[in-house]
Structure 1
Amino acid sequence: MSRLNHALPFALACALALTTACSRRETLVQAGNRQGILHVGNGAEVQYLDPHIAGGQIDHNVLSALFEGLVTLDEETLQPRAGAAASWEISPEGLVYTFHLRPDAQWSNGDPLTTRDFLYSFRRALSPALASEYKDIFYPVKNAEAYAKGTLSDFSQVGFRALDATTLQIILHQPVPYFLTLLRNNVWFPVHAASVEKTGAFDDRSAKWTQTAPFVCNGPFRLREWRVNQHLVVEKNPHYWDAPHVRLNEIWFYPSESLQSQEFAFRAGQLHTTWDVPLSKLDAYRKDSPGLLRIDPIFETYFVRFNVGVPAFKDPRVRRAFALTINREAIVKNILRGGQLPATGLTPPGIAGYTPPPGHASDADEARRLLAEAGYPGGRGLPKVEFLTIPQETQQRLAEALQERWRRELGVEVVIIQKEFKMFLAAINDLSRDYTFARGKWTAEYADPLAFISLFTTGNGVNG
């Protein structure tokens, strides 16, 4: 069990004990249904509430409640729909997007939300000093990449124009069919200038502005309370432009890297929804409670990270040898069991205009030949191999499956190392690279192959 979850199981244990004693004590879900409060298991602890620094779905779940960009996505169709901008036009050649902000849009403290706020926010997100890992999502914009890399210092040359307080133009350097979808990423969210600079410079990555009250935002909810490792609570924002149609009064996000703890809390009536389902419970829900189980398609790929800073793994023959022993079909069928597909490449099937390659079948003989050719017959001479992952049932079982294949087919002993999610991210980043192999996963921000292949380009913020 992760230490991030200690507070939650204890509270659940108390609640269950009281239920036994009183026989009919109201659960959190029952109370939430009555009070308009949603209780959510949100995976690991939130790392950042700064939308220009935050990355990953866990942070995004909370940030999407607190902030709103120019557009959002329809939950059913995933097509762009109006957000802070009530409408927009696209020029015939697809290069100029003109957005019209809602005249009644406000920050959670009542300040008006204007185009100046968006220009400030875009300049901040692209600032070289802030070093946002996701700044490349701005790169379709004219001169955005040059500004982010410091080769252009004049922000007025970047393709953003405030025509007036409510009219914003964004100019691209070439047409991008999925551009509106990019605007859903939290790096495009506006931030409140006075709040940001209350604790430091606008591009000071270490500034503590998200930890000072009030936390000013522009989304349907505002921050009420954040108790690290216990819960994060957002409440309905009365200054939100569409507040009358926000049906929830509060959302409680609970951090937990233990899927078992989340599932137990769900069964006990303490959570409305969980981040994921333990593999050991998947078949039972399919059989006995299919109405409680939801499996949605997603553009996401799992892969193995090799630290090529380790000399042995600079050799492509060594990396290919390890890859050729992986039985993807067996992993999908016997471990994941959620309808996943064996990966034949980094980009998954289903993206319009993309045809996946046939891939390479598992070939242990060729793998052993390559490893021997590289100078490591039977794995002899290789440095100690550690596989870094996170303490979650699915990830542990994936790691064990790879460990066994590499031991049996290559003669290589692999040690599995588990680190809590925050420590895991710190270990794999470009500054530390404290791993040999590591679990890799990427979820696309938009439906285009570039969402995957751009990860491995020089200068990409997440290419660690």
Structure 2
Amino acid sequence: MQTTRLTVILLSAVFTVVVAHAQPDQRSDLPSTPRSATFRIAVEDSDFEMNPLYAFVATEAQIFTGLYEGLVGYNPLTLSPIPGVARRWEVLDDGTLYRFYLRPDARYDNGDRVRAEHFRDTWIALLSLGDDAAYGSLFDDIVGARDFRRGRIEDPDEVGVRAVDDLTLEVTLRRRTPHFAELLAHHSFGPLHPDVRHIRDLSDPDVHVGNGPFQLLSFDASGIVMDRNEHYWASESVSMDRIVYERFADARNATDLFFDGEIDWNTGLIAFDGDFDSSDLVVNPLFATTFYYIRAEQEPWNDERVRRALALVLPWDEIRSPDVYFTPTSRLVPEIPGYPTPEMITERDVNEAMGLLADAGYPEGAGLPDPLIRIPGGDSERVARIMRESWNSTFGLDTQIETVRYPEYFARASDPEVTVGILSWIGDFTDPVTFLKLWISESTLNEAGLVSERYDTLIEEASSLEGATRFARMAEAESLLLSSGTILPVSHAAAFNLINLEAFEGWFPNPLDIHPVRFLRRTGDEPAPGVVRR
């Protein structure tokens, strides 16, 4: 599908990073809002994870904006951190101590108070899962967190999270981390009620307890229904009575129901064929990249000369064709003002590839094992075929391709036998670190299995720097990833949504494509029920 003709809504300062320190108190006496009944959202059918300790995909993060709330939340327009359960916070000790003051009226949907110790105990529970918690490494800026999740320390009291009292939480960081408040908006930093913290499956409404603006009413094969949480601290400012996520396997059906007025927001399941009306189509750039990776754990792929050689014989103009991708790219981190261009592989060079393999002990590819490319389908099948043809014809290999559909693909992407996999990553906030920290040696998200002391050192050094110097160090780290052939980017993503922005307020295109449902409200300008939008 060619998308280059679509009108793009360009966001002003789309990659602006807003760093919050002490925030003004936001009370629960916000103005009440008229009720607007039900808001229906079309999502791709999948086995959604309802336990935030284990959740991984972007749709789950969107669902959790209704069911859970962390210390901070997302501003729906800027994505900057705004007070959530924490009514305010202070940054002390040269940026290494965060003190959060919780709302006394923050409640779970069963009426129980949200306490500071619930955050501390939930974070410890997540870290205790080790590699089973996909986002465990997001906590690594906290004193002792990495050592605790890796089993090097066993006492949770050595982790820098302390409940001073019911309404005060202190977090001690290893170093000054200006983006820490933004990181806290991620769903993995929310609290779980003590009664459900150790329950694996939280999809049963009779079991589920959340603290978000909505509470779980039903979860089944047709979708997810959540009703307004009357115990939420800002319940009177929540406009929608009910949020419904309807599962769809067919984009045509989801598109038709949107234009027939049965769906309010289609999250990208769009059929562009036929008589397509683009007036409600919202397209915006995402802070996201789709890339392939060569796993670097086992011989001979742990030799960067071999990985680079594989990358150098690929026809990159064909792989990164603008006829296929909305925004083809050879870089991992999307462009940010002031961020240097890293060294990267942009063209084929068979001569250099042959020299690298000869130096590594594999002249003309002799002795290399046959690669296994594991993919989830879609356009990755096209790219995998190009890789197979290039490696087989150049090096005499017998490259294998294996297709594993979502969501099983995520569980099998890092199996030891895999040579090449694919991932699309949306940054947790608009900063290079959200892409680059994936690949530190002990990251829970390091699907490539890269272990590089040089890379780890560059990221560690960048964490203590600011401004252009920090960006330069990060670009050096990205250059290491790209020039070694470990990460093979192909495109930056765009978000495609169908929503009538004249009928709804509180929904804004943004680079993470996350839209807190707390802020959604009708404007009164939508078509009457039964009136088709076409």
**TM-score of Structure 1 vs Structure 2, range by shorter chain:** 0.7 to 0.9
Partner deviation per Cα, 1:107-140 (whole Å, 9 max, x = no partner): 0001111112112212212225684221221121
User: By how many angstroms is 1:227 displaced?
Assistant: 0.9
Change (3 A) 1:129 1:315: closer
**Alignment equivalent of 1:343, drawn from 306, 330, 346:** 330
User: By how many angstroms is 1:35 displaced?
Assistant: 6.3
Give the letter aligned to residue 88 of structure 2. Answer: S
1:36-435 correspondence to structure 2 within 5 Å: 36-91=37-92, 93-128=94-129, 131-197=132-198, 199=199, 207-211=200-204, 213-228=206-221, 230-256=222-248, 259=251, 262-267=254-259, 269-276=261-268, 281=272, 289-308=277-296, 311-324=299-312, 325-327=314-316, 331-336=320-325, 338=326, 340-344=327-331, 346-350=332-336, 354-366=339-351, 369=354, 373=358, 375=362, 377=364, 383-392=369-378, 394-399=379-384, 402=387, 416-429=401-414, 432-433=415-416, 435=418
User: By how many angstroms is 1:334 displaced?
Assistant: 0.9
* CA distance, structure 2, for counterparts of residue 348 and residue 328 of structure 1: 19
* CA distance, structure 1, for counterparts of residue 388 and residue 256 of structure 2: 29
Q: Percent identity?
A: 25
User: By how many angstroms is 1:261 displaced?
Assistant: 5.3
* CA distance, structure 2, for counterparts of residue 157 and residue 99 of structure 1: 19
SS at 1:425 equivalent: helix
Change (3 A) 1:458 1:314: closer
Asked whether the 8 Å contact 1:310–1:436 carries over to 2, the reply is: no
* CA distance, structure 2, for counterparts of residue 277 and residue 129 of structure 1: 34
User: By how many angstroms is 1:147 displaced?
Assistant: 2.2
TM superposition score normalised by structure 1: 0.78
* CA distance, structure 1, for counterparts of residue 319 and residue 419 of structure 2: 24
SS at 2:282 equivalent: coil
* CA distance, structure 1, for counterparts of residue 300 and residue 147 of structure 2: 35
Number of the residue aligned with 2:426? 443
- Structure with a larger share of its residues in helix: 1
Asked whether the 8 Å contact 1:66–1:219 carries over to 2, the reply is: yes
SS at 1:333 equivalent: coil
Q: Which moved more, 1:49-58 or 1:367-376?
A: 367-376
Change (3 A) 1:88 1:368: closer
Q: How many residues align?
A: 410
SS at 2:291 equivalent: strand
Given the alignment of the two structures, is residue 463 of structure 1 paired with residue 446 of structure 2, yes or no?
yes
Asked whether the 8 Å contact 1:312–1:382 carries over to 2, the reply is: yes
User: By how many angstroms is 1:399 displaced?
Assistant: 4.3
TM superposition score normalised by structure 2: 0.68
* CA distance, structure 1, for counterparts of residue 387 and residue 110 of structure 2: 51
Give the letter aligned to residue 443 of structure 1. Answer: I
